[in-house]
Amino acid sequence: MNYINHEQVAAKTKSRLIKNNILKGLFLAATMFGLIVLAILLFRIVTQGSEYLSFDFFTRFASRIPENSGIKSAFLGSIYLMLVVAPVSMFLGVGTAIYLEEYAKKNKMTDFIRINISNLAGVPSVVFGLLGLTIFVRYFGLGISILAAGLTMSLLILPVIIVASQEAIRAVPGELREASFAMGATKWQTILRVVLPTAIPGVLTGSILALSRAIGETAPLVVIGIPTILMFTPNSLLSTFTALPMQIFDWTKRPQVAFHDVAAAGIIVLMTLLIIMNSIAVFIRNKYQKRF
């Protein structure tokens, strides 16, 4: 008996192969579209900004003369901002994730919290800016300071860190915990010595990606009213400061074309910073994350 009708197959093969090739081309084009746009963007930014990029660019303050402009206050401001955001958001984020995954009972209340954390991740960043302005800047009287902006940014990236940490903690196999309990360890000892060490590469990867979002975010800073004209470096957490995205935003709005090139140089610095942070995240994930 002839199971395969060779004639029929031969007749259909050609059209099937063509369809396959067309779709392959279509998906390749979809992939290339993003890449090409990115390449054009990078090319434009680098050709515009490289002229102004030098060591002095990091050691000078902003100036009315484009050639003398630098990002000293903005760069340091962004770093100090991260010094507030990183510990606050990681402590709160990992703490929430541990509670939800390890301690919380599976009931309606926990589900409610989980859903709301996911919702929080979808709130536009401008809204966080308004929240920060009302609560931290005005109500707590922190003023337009590194601390107020840092707390606002922490809230902004908190949901991302919580979700990433939850995933990482959930990925730790139950057998490891049970083995620890069997040895007589308490819940906290198990979390500290078994769960967290295993989960920490995943937690760090998620946190670094979230931090790199915070460093590039502009809208909340605009709403809080971070100044852009500032010729000093911050000396305490309550100092006024400016940040890289704000400085770039200000330069692109200037009438002089030369300032647009200075802005491009600032963008190069910001993007390099982001690429370094993202590479660290990828490196940690690839090197330390265990698969079970």
Partner 1 sequence: MKSFKYLAMTTMVGSALFLAACGDEGETETNGSNGDNNTASEETLEGQVRGDGSSTVAPIMEAIVEEYAGVQPNVQVSSGVSGTGGGFEKFIAGETDFSNASRPIKDEEASALEEAGVDYTELEIGFDGLSVVVSQDNDWVDHLTVEELKAMWVEDGTEKTWADIREGWPEETIEYYSPGTDSGTYDYWNEVILEDEDIVRSATLSEDDNVLVQGVVGSPNAIGYFGYAYYLENQDTLKVVPIDGGEGPVEPTNETIESGEYAPLSRPLFTYVSNASIQENEAAADFITFAIENAGDLAEAVGYVRAPQELYNEDMEKIEELKQ
Binding positions for partner 1, rule: CB under 8 A:
59-64, 68, 72, 76, 79, 83, 137-138, 143-144, 197, 200-201, 222, 225-233, 239-240, 242, 250, 252-257, 260, 284, 288
User: What is the C-alpha separation between 200 and 165, in angstroms, rounded?
Assistant: 8
Identity of the residue, 120 or 171, whose beta carbon is nearer to partner 1 in the bound complex: 171
Identity of the residue, 239 or 278, whose beta carbon is nearer to partner 1 in the bound complex: 239
Closest CA to 245 of 126, 89, 54, 78: 78
CB of 101 to partner 1, least distance (A): 20
Identity of the residue, 79 or 113, whose beta carbon is nearer to partner 1 in the bound complex: 79
CB of 180 to partner 1, least distance (A): 15
DSSP state of 135: I
Contact 292, 173 (CB under 8 A): yes
User: What is the C-alpha separation between 171 and 138, in angstroms, rounded?
Assistant: 41
Identity of the residue, 70 or 93, whose beta carbon is nearer to partner 1 in the bound complex: 70
Identity of the residue, 117 or 203, whose beta carbon is nearer to partner 1 in the bound complex: 203
CB of 27 to partner 1, least distance (A): 35
CB of 256 to partner 1, least distance (A): 5
The C-alpha angle 48, 54, 60, rounded to 5 degrees, equals: 105
**Residue 43 exposed, middle or buried by CB count within 10 Å (0-12, 13-18, 19+):** exposed
H/E stretch holding 192 reads: none
Identity of the residue, 56 or 111, whose beta carbon is nearer to partner 1 in the bound complex: 56
Q: Which residue has the tokens 């992939």?
A: 31
Q: Which residues of 89-118 are buried (b: 16+ CB within 10 A; e: fewer)?
A: bbeebbebbbebbbeeeeeeeeeeeeeebe
User: How many CA atoms lie less than 13 Å away from 292 in the CB half-sphere?
Assistant: 11
CB of 38 to partner 1, least distance (A): 23
User: What is the C-alpha separation between 290 and 29, in angstroms, rounded?
Assistant: 35
CB of 90 to partner 1, least distance (A): 13
CB of 242 to partner 1, least distance (A): 8
Identity of the residue, 17 or 231, whose beta carbon is nearer to partner 1 in the bound complex: 231
- What are the Cα distances from residue 149, in Å, to 8, 78, 79, 225, 239? 69, 10, 12, 10, 11
CB of 29 to partner 1, least distance (A): 29
Identity of the residue, 44 or 253, whose beta carbon is nearer to partner 1 in the bound complex: 253
User: What is the C-alpha separation between 220 and 130, in angstroms, rounded?
Assistant: 7
